[in-house]
Structure 1
Amino acid sequence: MDWIYTLFVCCVALLAPAALLFRLRPRSGSSASQLPPGPKGWPVFGNMFDLGPMPHKTIAGLRSAYGQVVWLRIGSINTMVVQTAEAAAVLFKSHDASFAERTIIEVMRAHGFDRAALSLAPYGPYWRAMKRMMTAEMLSQRRIGETEAIRRRCVADMVEWIGNAAETGQTRGIHVARFVFLASFNMLANLMLSRDLVSPEAAEGSEFHSAMLELMNCSGTPNIVDLFPFLRRIDPQGLRRKIDRGMEKTLKIVAGFVERRRKEMKSNPSSRKDFLEVLLEYRGNSDDECDQISDHQLHIIIMEVFLAGSETTSSTIEWAMVELLRHPAAMSAAKEELRRVVGEGSRFEEAQIDDLPYLQAVVKETLRLHPPVPFLVPRRAIREVEFMSYRIPENTQVFVNAWAIGRDPRCWEEAGEFKPERFLESRTDYKGHNFELIPFGAGRRICAGIPLAHRMLNLVLGSLLHEFEWGVDEVGEKEMADERERMGVTVRKLVPLMVIARRCST
């Protein structure tokens, strides 16, 4: 809640003289009536103080009063929120191109990050070239399959770290999400740069790891400038200045990694190419926009991979463990499936994922209830659009409330319950074709990393369940029941899950 009061103080100090002392009424005339329905807002501030600390939940509660599409004014930003699978289908099937641009928060403008990162880049030739390169060269099933050994080793390291921590007999157990984050970070480092970057023994991690954590924290901090863009030059919270410094430092570190890797590639060519080598080779041989990618853009792409991959994996695994510990029958079913397919005393291999439908169902059910980015990456209307009989003005910000869609009782029986079994006889997946389950988005700007995320999530969770018995103490039971969330790059559990781990007998 502290950030709400910070924003309130800033707003009052800067904007109160312009605010009237009565609530806005719906505007008369045809233009207002064509907008989607939504709650009344205050002058200047709009609905920003009505959203609460977990806005995806608050806005989901508006569906019963206002329907599938809700109109909000958050500060000075016009915002449309899509709240149902039906409305999402209309958006992605019929109006995908009209909403293909992104809403860019101020801190992401630092050093041109928003112009180079695939997830944020303007919809145009550069984005199309990068999307094609990512999906066809870096993140194809073939290329991901070639890097299986990397993930196997990084997961083995994670299992060893957790086993060593468990043997120390820590009173409150271990913070499992921390170990998953470190393992995910090293997986991505090896995929991109062919090297480990962190270990749990280093209290503060590598310089790059620490710099990336600082960027994640800064980019996840609510910024008044995003609500009132005319304050951009003032930067009242100092976030732009802070991230400018942090990103400059991080880009220098990445540049050092790239230069070192280039020298290694020349002196010791390898039959297995990491993603950096693939990107450099593609850039050199391509006739399209990728051929003009600068080193600066290359460094930002590497940063984006770490920002998008490490936090998403660790937060999802933490929520999966919370749900499985709350539901012992589901935990037992997942572990029994692993024992049957993998075998006691054997390591879980990535190739076995397809033989583990219940494990995959657990991952899907976790993503349904706890999408890492509840509103997805916000879109923006390129032009004025007629959407579901409403007139949506140009530059309107668009949220797709994946959290609300995943809990819609019209799509899901016992929608609020954790029931992996619902997916066993269902072909529903999270690849963007089933709009009732879209934790990674849909349409042309769907997350390019879904194939890699699928493997990482199932491999990490399956390994944790197969290698250890899990439990919590009395304090942990109370903390586990606390469903409060912390908004950041992803939505994490506010109170971290502390678990007691014991190696399974072999």
Structure 2
Amino acid sequence: MDYYTLVFRTIFALGFLYTLAKLSSRGSKRLPPGPSPWPIIGNFHLLGAKPHVSLANLAKNYGPIMSLKLGQMTTVVISSSTIAKQVLKTQDEAFSTRFIPNVVQAHNYSKFSVVWLPVCPQWQTLKTFLNTKIFSSNRLDANQHLRSQKVKELIAYCEKCSQEGEALNVSQVAYKTNLNLLSNTLFSKDLADPFSDSKVELSDVLWRIMHEVGKINLVDFFPILEKIDLQGIRRQSNIHFGKFFELFDGLINERLEEKRRRCSEKSDILEVILNHSAENPKGIDHNHIKSMFLDLIFAGTDTTITTLEWAMAEILRHPEIMNKAQAELAEVVGKGKPIEEGDVSRLPYLQYIVKETLRIHPPATLLIPRQVDQDVELYDYIIPKGTLVLVNVWEIGRDPMFWKDPLVFRPERFQSLELDVRGKDFELTPFGAGRRICPGMPLALRMVQAMLGSMLNSFNWKLEADIEPQDLDMEEKSGFITPKAIPLRAIPYPL
């Protein structure tokens, strides 16, 4: 076959596939408007390095509800609070099923996880347990002392850096501290040491899992590639998930042996879960427990440190905000004291800072994707069975139709806006809403507010290398979670 014949046949084949795609898009189903797909790849070429930004720009042309074709996957993107409310609350049941990425199917994690299970009796049992036994105010208050000690250790480490005049990597230190905050709540023991790298492996494994989860996996959009695992994501996730489940097996078996020998009783979450499991053996088994721990670590670690890093970055970029926050802390708590979780209710400006951070820098910019399991009517459109549904909370938090000066970081805006982040106000839903709201939200909020308040009330802060506040790089890193592209480094010094 000569060169020209090959070129002609290739052009003809691509044209034929494009015609089929156009014809199929004109079917009886009334899809929302959207860009015309290319053959085979659909609209993948439009996503760019930061999908949430690209989708926000597309929404300016196609509207707050639009459809795209990502490979073989029909995708609908929601970019307004009004339609988000319809999806997350009014028609919550129809949109409650999760899209299950190939990566979270490793070690059958998604089959036992409250995050990924469909709404079913098993999911309801796990969700009820989380809400009543782990994330209730009484339970969180009962184990607050476990987290309080870790905040004090964080401040001690900052004091060491202050005395030596050294900059610290805010996300790295917060990451290790937060992992210990969480692991003490879960297991009454440290899983990372903020003062050395001797136990950095576990943190590294968690980072690697989030890195794999954050990638665009072609298998999810071209199922024919599943057996090939072209990018090696499933292979890597099997390794990393396996390490976590091996750790959890050891912790569970160690505690069961302690209980068998009637050693000292603990008040952590592992103890609560094992006691409940013993009383209800058919409700929560060993696999559910391990997947629940992974859910809690995911929900309580990455979102928390990302929010803390962005909050510190914005505060360092706006010194007047730091001054105002420190004045409130000194008046309410006392200058130089660590913040207890119970203090936060008396610190409205600290809460405003966290809300404003979550508005302009939501950790999961597109939330956790959903997938409809039957045809659904939404605003005169038909969302076909199997459609992937994304809610762009990054764009909703910057909507100029609701937010005045949406790109300006101004915590004071919440003095006159009675908005919360707990899923009732759809202009601000960084944790989602409805029955699929993030289960770790109550704990994550407590931890980020306690750490941020303690860091501000114990030290002044400045950027390393005499970087001027207005010169601080604020670029995002792409992925499922969006931390700063360049990690924040800052120097603590005495108040």
Q: TM-score, normalised by structure 1?
A: 0.91
Q: For 1:80-119, list aligned pairs within 5 A.
A: 80-119=76-115
- Paired AA for residue 298 in structure 1: I
CA, structure 1 residues 240+480, in 2 after alignment: closer, same or farther (shift >3 Å)? farther
Residue 385 of structure 1: aligned partner = 376
Match of 1:147 among 134, 143, 146: 143
Residue 322 of structure 2: aligned partner = 331
1:219 aligns with 2:213: yes
Aligned 8 A contact 2:336 2:457 in 1: no
CA, structure 1 residues 16+277, in 2 after alignment: closer, same or farther (shift >3 Å)? farther
- Paired AA for residue 272 in structure 2: V
Residue 5 of structure 2: aligned partner = none
For the residues of structure 2 that align with 1:33 and 1:380, how far apart are their CA atoms?
A: 17
1:166 aligns with 2:162: yes
1:444 aligns with 2:440: no
CA, structure 1 residues 167+266, in 2 after alignment: closer, same or farther (shift >3 Å)? farther
Deviation at 1:498, TM superposition (A): 1.1
Q: For 1:447-466, list aligned pairs within 5 A.
A: 447-466=438-457
Deviation at 1:31, TM superposition (A): 3.4
Aligned 8 A contact 1:193 1:275 in 2: yes
Aligned 8 A contact 2:122 2:283 in 1: no
CA deviation vs aligned residue, 1:335-383 (integer Å, no higher than 9, x gap): 1100110112433222110000000000000000000000000001021
Residue 9 of structure 1: aligned partner = none
Match of 1:238 among 207, 229, 232: 232
For the residues of structure 2 that align with 1:395 and 1:494, how far apart are their CA atoms?
A: 34
1:252 aligns with 2:246: yes
- Paired AA for residue 406 in structure 2: A
For the residues of structure 2 that align with 1:250 and 1:18, how far apart are their CA atoms?
A: 47
CA, structure 1 residues 138+271, in 2 after alignment: closer, same or farther (shift >3 Å)? same
Aligned 8 A contact 2:183 2:189 in 1: yes
For the residues of structure 2 that align with 1:252 and 1:352, how far apart are their CA atoms?
A: 38
Greater Cα shift, 258-267 or 156-165:
258-267
Deviation at 1:190, TM superposition (A): 0.7
For the residues of structure 1 that align with 2:14 and 2:267, how far apart are their CA atoms?
A: 59
Match of 2:360 among 369, 372, 380: 369
RMSD, matched Cα? 2.3
Deviation at 1:488, TM superposition (A): 3.4
Deviation at 1:168, TM superposition (A): 2.7
CA deviation vs aligned residue, 1:473-502 (integer Å, no higher than 9, x gap): 457448964332223341111111111211
Residue 61 of structure 1: aligned partner = 57
Deviation at 1:225, TM superposition (A): 1.0
Residue 117 of structure 2: aligned partner = 121
- Paired AA for residue 366 in structure 2: F
Deviation at 1:246, TM superposition (A): 2.3
For the residues of structure 2 that align with 1:21 and 1:432, how far apart are their CA atoms?
A: 46
1:469 aligns with 2:465: no
For the residues of structure 2 that align with 1:348 and 1:185, how far apart are their CA atoms?
A: 18
Deviation at 1:284, TM superposition (A): 2.3
Q: For 1:33-72, list aligned pairs within 5 A.
A: 34-72=30-68
1:157 aligns with 2:148: no
Greater Cα shift, 487-496 or 150-159:
487-496
For the residues of structure 2 that align with 1:467 and 1:85, how far apart are their CA atoms?
A: 38
Q: What SS class does the counterpart of residue 40 from structure 1 fall into?
A: coil
CA, structure 1 residues 19+224, in 2 after alignment: closer, same or farther (shift >3 Å)? farther
Q: What SS class does the counterpart of residue 303 from structure 1 fall into?
A: helix
Residue 419 of structure 1: aligned partner = 410
For the residues of structure 1 that align with 2:57 and 2:336, how far apart are their CA atoms?
A: 48
Aligned 8 A contact 1:322 1:480 in 2: no
Aligned 8 A contact 2:335 2:458 in 1: no
For the residues of structure 2 that align with 1:18 and 1:283, how far apart are their CA atoms?
A: 58
Greater Cα shift, 358-367 or 201-210:
201-210
For the residues of structure 2 that align with 1:125 and 1:241, how far apart are their CA atoms?
A: 31
Unaligned runs of 5+ in 1: 1-14
- Paired AA for residue 133 in structure 1: F
Q: What SS class does the counterpart of residue 97 from structure 1 fall into?
A: coil
Residue 355 of structure 1: aligned partner = 346
Residue 477 of structure 2: aligned partner = 486
Residue 4 of structure 2: aligned partner = none
CA, structure 1 residues 153+239, in 2 after alignment: closer, same or farther (shift >3 Å)? same
Aligned 8 A contact 2:154 2:194 in 1: no
Aligned 8 A contact 1:381 1:393 in 2: yes
Q: What SS class does the counterpart of residue 368 from structure 1 fall into?
A: helix
For the residues of structure 2 that align with 1:16 and 1:206, how far apart are their CA atoms?
A: 53
Unaligned runs of 5+ in 2: 1-9
Aligned 8 A contact 2:212 2:237 in 1: yes
- Paired AA for residue 250 in structure 1: F
- Paired AA for residue 454 in structure 1: L
Residue 6 of structure 1: aligned partner = none
Greater Cα shift, 46-55 or 60-69:
60-69
Aligned 8 A contact 1:188 1:306 in 2: yes
Deviation at 1:191, TM superposition (A): 1.0
CA, structure 1 residues 33+467, in 2 after alignment: closer, same or farther (shift >3 Å)? same
Deviation at 1:207, TM superposition (A): 4.4
Aligned 8 A contact 2:161 2:491 in 1: no
- Paired AA for residue 347 in structure 1: P
CA, structure 1 residues 352+292, in 2 after alignment: closer, same or farther (shift >3 Å)? closer
